Amino acid sequence: MTTALSARYGLIRGNLSLRQKRVLWAWSFLAVPIAFYSIIRFWPTLEAFTLSFTDWNLLRPASFVGFDNYIRLANDPLFWQVFRNSAVYLLIGTPVSLVLSFVIAYYLDRVNFMHGFIRALYFLPFLTTAAAMAWVWRWFYQPLPIGVLNGVLTWLGLSQQPFLRSTVQALPAILAPAIWAGLGFQVIIFMAGLRAIPLSYYEAARIDGLSELAILRKITIPLLKPTIVFLVVFSSIGFLRIFDQVYNMTFNDPGGPLNTTKPIVLMIYQTAFKSMEMGYAAAQTVVLFLVLLVVSLIQLRLLKDH
């Protein structure tokens, strides 16, 4: 009798503790990751905000200076130049890479002959190291007799261009390899989106006598909306954070000539790790964070509403 009862009791207790045991397992699985995210992600985030209100420069102890760093930033002509440069990287880079990759994906999706090979040609640059390819492009842009592009231009009977030495041409010249390297990724994502559109939609549209252009406008693009939103936000963040190409292609005068190619991240790098003005640099990183946040939110709002 008692044994039966205790066995039953034990069973109930066993059942209860089985569920508790699972909760315990869950928290033990999460223990190390929670510690990691707290120490490596959340704490540094708070610290970056805190540092941005101090004048710390590694030499003397930090003291609270309120919004001084932000006021200094707002009055720094270099910051506005850098801000403009970053905007240009974004405003040229995102539309150009999106239109190019969509056109390529749209036609590549219909190609049967050597499909995998052509796809590989477009995808290959995505796997290269930006720092390595920056030097290849830098070589392309050299003046004659070394530079490949100027060689082609003179061969075509056109005049030589200064490229990286020009305050006007340098930024697009640096943007080109960034677009080039990211194109393959965007093509693949667009193709995945195109594949997800059921073929019956196209067939029905053709039976209805819609032209290819009408099909593109009325079916393909609206149904690709989620893909487009993802790629716009993703590539905008990428162009706003451009660094590797600029650093390597303008090494002798980072961000030059005359700061016309300097993006926000390069300014942060120089302020923090060349001038060692950690507080001021932290304020710049907070501004970068706000810019990324605002740009993403605006894009999501605009693209979702249509």
Partner 1 sequence: MSPNDRSLKARHQAFPIHPGRIFTWTLLFLGGVVMVTPILFMLSTSLKDASQVYDLRLIPEAPSLDNYKVVLSDGRFLRWFLNSVIVAVCVTLSNVFFDSLVGYTLAKFQFRGRYLVFLAILSTLMIPTEMLVIPWYLMASSFGWIDSYWGIMFPGMMTAFGTFLMKQFFETVPDEFLEAARVDGLNEFTIWWRVAMPLVTPALSALAIFTFLGNWTAFFWPLIVTNSRELYTLPIGLSSFAVEQAIQWEMIMTGASLATIPTLIVFLLLQRYIVRGVMLAGLKG
Contacts of partner 1 in 13-52 (CB under 8 A): 22-23, 25-27, 29-30, 32-34, 36-37, 40-45, 47-48, 51
* 242 scored as a contact of partner 1 (CB under 8 A): no
Residue 153 CB: number of other CB atoms within 10 A? 15
* 223 scored as a contact of partner 1 (CB under 8 A): no
> What is the size of the binding site for partner 1 (CB under 8 A)?
94
- 108, 173, 232, 295: which one contacts partner 1 (CB under 8 A)? 108
Q: Two tokens at 29?
A: 């699985």
* 111 scored as a contact of partner 1 (CB under 8 A): yes
Measured from the CB atom, is 2 or 200 closer to partner 1?
A: 200
- 86, 102, 119, 262: which one contacts partner 1 (CB under 8 A)? 119
* 59 scored as a contact of partner 1 (CB under 8 A): no
What is the CB-side half-sphere exposure of residue 210 using CA atoms within 13 A?
A: 16
C-alpha to C-alpha distance for 170 and 203, rounded to whole angstroms: 47
* 113 scored as a contact of partner 1 (CB under 8 A): yes
Chain positions 147 to 186 lying near partner 1, rule: CB under 8 A, are 148, 151, 177, 180, 183-185
245 in Cβ contact with 239 (< 8 Å): no
* H/E element, 7: helix 2-36
C-alpha to C-alpha distance for 1 and 14, rounded to whole angstroms: 19
Cα 234–239–240 angle (5° rounding)?
Answer: 100
Measured from the CB atom, is 1 or 234 closer to partner 1?
A: 234
* 265 scored as a contact of partner 1 (CB under 8 A): yes
* Shortest distance in whole angstroms from residue 81 CB to partner 1: 18
Residues 6+ apart with CB under 8 A from 62: 51, 54, 55, 56, 279
Picking from 258, 103, 244, the residue whose alpha carbon sits closest to that of residue 177 is 244
Amino acid at 45: T
* Shortest distance in whole angstroms from residue 251 CB to partner 1: 6
* Shortest distance in whole angstroms from residue 102 CB to partner 1: 13
190 in Cβ contact with 105 (< 8 Å): yes
Provide the mask over 188-207, with x wherever binding to partner 1 is found by CB under 8 A and - wherever it is not: xx-xxx-xx--x--xx----
* Shortest distance in whole angstroms from residue 3 CB to partner 1: 24
C-alpha to C-alpha distance for 178 and 167, rounded to whole angstroms: 18
* Shortest distance in whole angstroms from residue 270 CB to partner 1: 12
